[in-house]
């Protein structure tokens, strides 16, 4: 019986736990700060165990890892290297759905030496995006061609019928993670030129696209696209861009959120009884005793009737309602995130949607050049698992199964960009109706 340790019991965990419990020879332990969440995921399954675990209890964490064959870390990303170090120490395998940061990358040699495979970036974005892209890129190469341009976009959004608030967004995962992702600087290559976008200007660097089956969306750059030039084997590509999809209006609004300082993570004292209007007043560079909306409009260079301010108004940020989080260790981001989570949640029966699109230009010496698109539009299940939960956690679960059954074993820190990983994962996802549809246009 293989023993799997799942660390975390958040919004995306349920499909992963259920998939692993369905495997004939796996026992699954779910460890969470809130044991009731872990118990709900295990749901009394005879091969499941729920435990309480505070992630900073390194001694208990080490003991749990030592007692299992593989750990799946769905904890906040900064904790992954801590888990990875313990997995290496105890020679246990590991998967995560998060990006490989410098601390994780530094563990590649120790993991190799210990015979430990740490498979990262095996969710949806990152994850399915890598795998579906590499399947096309490798196919082009196998046919004697080269990819000269690659653009990739992904976004988790409300399905069109559930897109009923002014922000055009609802949360199927951590509001804090969504907001802090908007603080990342970005790099990409466009027509042979390197483009760098500082974090504060990220949302100003957006463009609109019409996606078949969805309609018009806007996109902004997603982190460091150049870091994938070598990973994808596209060092000589003319254009390399990875972006995030949102409904129209998100970027204009988040740009002002950033400009005002609402994503600040510095602890600030908010006395009990502080209202949202008072919270917003703290972002004003010059004090105003008048209408907060007008003062914010002036500071942001907006017309007082701006849709951006309408979104703030709808969220209740100009109201006299007391904020729900107070105290000395509260940050502006905490308050915004809590309000968003309350006001922008999915209602019962509503569906979310994942939209993933790749655009390739492929050149051939002895055949027509090609324009290739690869598109996945996946919907959540009403009153069931969200698309975000399925597409993030199922690839990680499949990857974990493949490691434990010996289908793959590549010691070191890896992401799923080789055939041995991406083909079986994508093929199994297709049996669950999670798939990319490819179209090829021959160019004269």
Name the residues annotated as catalytic.
125
CB–CB of 124/215 below 8 Å? no
Question: How many whole angstroms separate alpha carbon 332 and alpha carbon 174?
Answer: 16
Question: How many whole angstroms separate alpha carbon 369 and alpha carbon 444?
Answer: 7
Report the alpha-carbon angle 338-216-384, nearest 5: 50
Report the alpha-carbon angle 307-308-311, nearest 5: 85
Q: Which residues contact 193 (CB under 8 A, 6 or more apart)?
A: none
Question: How many whole angstroms separate alpha carbon 397 and alpha carbon 429?
Answer: 11
Question: How many whole angstroms separate alpha carbon 398 and alpha carbon 97?
Answer: 12
CB–CB of 71/82 below 8 Å? no
Alpha helices (H) along 351-418? 387-404
Question: In which element (H, E) is residue 334 found?
Answer: helix 332-343
Whether residue 126 has a cis bond before it, omega within 30° of 0: yes
Question: How many whole angstroms separate alpha carbon 191 and alpha carbon 70?
Answer: 43
Could you tell me the maximum CA-CA distance found in the chain, to the nearest angstrom?
Answer: 72
Strands (E) in 317-368, as ranges, are 327-330, 352-363
């Amino acid at each position: 019986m293989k023993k799997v340790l799942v660390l975390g019991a958040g919004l995306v965990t349920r499909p992963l736990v259920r998939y692993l419990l369905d495997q004939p020879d796996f026992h699954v332990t779910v460890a969470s700060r809130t044991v009731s969440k872990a118990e709900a995921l295990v749901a009394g399954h005879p091969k499941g165990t729920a435990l309480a675990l505070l992630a900073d209890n390194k001694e208990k964490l080490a003991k749990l890892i030592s007692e299992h064959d593989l750990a799946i870390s769905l904890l906040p990303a900064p904790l992954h290297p801590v888990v990875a170090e313990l997995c290496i120490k105890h020679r246990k395998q590991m998967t995560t759905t998060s990006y490989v940061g410098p601390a994780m990358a530094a563990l590649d040699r120790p993991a190799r030496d210990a015979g430990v495979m740490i498979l990262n970036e095996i969710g949806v974005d990152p994850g399915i995006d890598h795998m579906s892209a590499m399947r096309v890129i490798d196919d082009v190469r196998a046919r004697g061609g080269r990819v000269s341009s690659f653009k990739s976009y992904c976004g988790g959004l409300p399905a069109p019928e559930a897109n009923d608030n002014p922000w055009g967004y609802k949360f199927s995962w951590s509001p804090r993670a969504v907001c802090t992702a908007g603080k990342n600087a970005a790099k990409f290559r466009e027509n042979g030129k390197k483009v760098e976008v500082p974090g504060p200007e990220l949302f100003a660097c957006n463009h609109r696209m019409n996606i078949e089956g969805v309609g018009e969306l806007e996109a902004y750059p997603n982190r460091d696209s150049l870091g994938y030039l070598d990973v994808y084997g596209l060092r000589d590509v003319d254009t390399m861009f990875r972006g995030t999809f949102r409904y129209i209006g998100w970027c204009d609004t988040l740009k002002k959120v950033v400009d005002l300082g609402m994503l600040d993570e510095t602890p600030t004292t908010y006395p009990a009884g502080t209202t949202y209007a008072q919270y917003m007043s703290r972002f004003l560079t010059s004090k105003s005793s008048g209408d907060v909306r007008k003062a914010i409009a002036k500071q942001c260079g907006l017309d007082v009737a701006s849709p951006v301010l309408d979104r703030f108004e709808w969220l209740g940020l100009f109201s006299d309602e007391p904020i729900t989080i107070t105290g000395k260790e509260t940050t502006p981001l905490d308050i915004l995130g809590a309000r968003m989570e309350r006001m922008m949640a999915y209602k019962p029966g509503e569906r979310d949607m994942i939209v993933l699109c790749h655009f390739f230009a492929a050149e051939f010496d002895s055949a027509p050049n090609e324009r290739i698109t690869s598109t996945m539009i996946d919907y959540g299940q009403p009153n069931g698992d969200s698309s975000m939960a399925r597409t993030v956690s199922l690839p990680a679960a499949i990857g974990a199964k493949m490691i434990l059954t010996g289908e793959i074993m590549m010691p070191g820190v890896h992401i799923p960009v080789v055939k041995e990983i991406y083909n079986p994962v994508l093929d199994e996802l297709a049996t669950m109706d999670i798939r990319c549809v490819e179209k090829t246009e021959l160019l004269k």
